[in-house]
Chain A
Amino acid sequence: MGLGFAIGAFGVLILAHAAYSTIQYRGLLKIMEEEFSGPPMNVVVELLVGLVLCMWAALTVPGKFLSIHPHSDENRIVSLPANMDFMVFNHRGKVFPSAMDLKLKH
């Protein structure tokens, strides 16, 4: 968790640095009076690294993925709940009273 978060923060920093470098590069181009043809190499590399790091952090930090398959163990329903609202007490358990002599002590 801590590691993932740190890596995500690092990725955001790299992206911010890429933005800063682009602005600087544009300023430089204005001074040298050249046409803008494309971003410099280091900015592109920074963008890619930032993208990968941020994506990795976003996929790991929030938590584990849950299965959406209806037949996976987390989703597969094996039994219905006992209908407790319609519970009936005069069943055969009445004839076999539990041996426990339990008492509520207060």
Chain B
Amino acid sequence: MVTKTEETQLNRLESQLEHGGGGAWEYLCLVRKLKVRRSEKVLKHGLSILNDPKKRSSLGHDEWTLYEQVAIAAMDCQSLDVAKDCINVLQKRFPESKRVGGLEGMLLEAKGCWTEAEKAYLSLLEDNPLDQVIHKRRVALAKAQGKVSEAIEFLNKYLEIFMADSDAWRELAEIYISLQMYKQAAFCYEELILSQPTVPLYHLAYADVLYTLGGLENLQAAKKYYSSTIDLTGGKNTRALFGICLCTSAIAQLTKGRNKEDKDSPDLQSLATAALEKEYKHRASGKVPVLASALKSLKVS
């Protein structure tokens, strides 16, 4: 999870590096800790550390972690030679390691040798059938080949064993959304909210799915989840504020004929619009008229 302070720190280190300042190792550590995907920068700065024998030896045991990190980044950037060199170094240092075996499988994936990669993963799973990383790689492999239904099948099997893996639940939800299977995606987000109720982004994603599903009940639930997102973020999530406005107008449209709206809804919407206007005035004053016209079109008289 990337919090606001960590994000600012990451951006600060990134601009510092870009302007020739130091702090490459701190940046790489932060990237690893936050699990963000900055492959190009990791490759560039990681290699500059690895190619400098003095810096490299000062890392001690972290050197090997850096080799792994750079190898994965290189695969992501399609610099397969670099990746291969890094993996060879790791292979020399840790022969017989399952983790390096997984990296070799990933290299095959990056090359596009799907069947070989699959074989490599299967042989690794034979040795250790409960290796989570390899199971996840198989899912990714299926996804990379475009076999989405196979990926879903693997993920479901995986989740039967490792039910607490929230990353896998999120991946499944995202795959379902890409296939427009919103009901299934909603189930995954429910699972995520249950396991981590304080993460506002899960509430937000669940609300988005419910809003997309439509229907009065879903819309009302979506509004509640947008509200809980606002509650958890202190009103600093613009998407949730827009969501409130959209839900209110959609509910008003559905219940136009019937005159039994719940009382709090107009109130909530005016609060959300006020917050939005304040935010836009503060950060993008040029866009205020656009916002005003957009909000006006949502108002159902």
**Interface on A for B, CB 8 Å cutoff?**
69-90, 93-94, 97-98, 100, 102-106
Contact = CB atoms under 8 A, between A and B. Distances in A.
B136 interface: yes
A98 B83 CA distance: 14
Given A77-B199, A86-B143, A86-B171, A98 B2 contact: no
Interface string B63-96: 0000000001011111101100110010000000
Given A77-B200, A104-B82, 10 more contacts: A80-B199, A80-B201, A81-B34, A81-B167, A85-B137, A86-B140, A86-B167, A87-B140, A103-B82, A104-B85
B80 to A, nearest CB: 10
The 6 lowest CB-CB distance pairs between A and B, nearest first, are: A71-B234, A81-B35, A82-B37, A104-B85, A85-B136, A73-B4
Contacts of A85: 132-133, 136-137, 140, 167
Contacts of B252: none
Nearest to A69: B234
B143 A88 contact: yes
Interface of B: 1-5, 7-8, 34-37, 40, 43-44, 47, 50-51, 72, 74-79, 81-82, 85-86, 89, 106, 109-110, 112, 132-133, 136-137, 139-140, 143-144, 167, 170-171, 174, 198-201, 232-236
29 contacts: A71-B235, A71-B236, A72-B234, A77-B3, A77-B199, A79-B7, A80-B1, A80-B199, A81-B36, A82-B35, A82-B36, A84-B72, A86-B139, A86-B167, A87-B37, A87-B140, A88-B143, A89-B110, A90-B112, A93-B76, A93-B78, A97-B79, A100-B44, A102-B47, A102-B82, A103-B85, A104-B51, A106-B85, A106-B89
B47 A104 contact: yes
A87 B72 contact: yes
Contacts of A69: 234
A104 B48 CA distance: 9
B3 A73 contact: yes
Contacts of B76: 87, 89, 93
Contact of A81 (B1, B51, B198): B1
Nearest to B200: A77
B155 to A, nearest CB: 9
A44 B10 CA distance: 53
Given A76-B3, A81-B1, A104 B50 contact: yes
Contacts of A73: 3-5, 8
Contacts of B139: 86
A76 B140 contact: no
Given A70-B232, A87-B72, A98 B78 contact: yes
Given A71-B236, A82-B36, A88-B144, A103 B81 contact: yes
Contacts of A88: 140, 143-144
A97 B85 CA distance: 18
B144 A90 contact: yes
A2 B77 CA distance: 50
Nearest to B136: A85
A101 to B, nearest CB: 9
Residue among A70, A72, A73, A85 with most chain B CB within 10 A:
A85
Nearest to A95: B78
Contacts of A82: 35-37
Nearest to A77: B1
A97 B43 CA distance: 13
Contacts of B78: 89, 93-94, 97-98
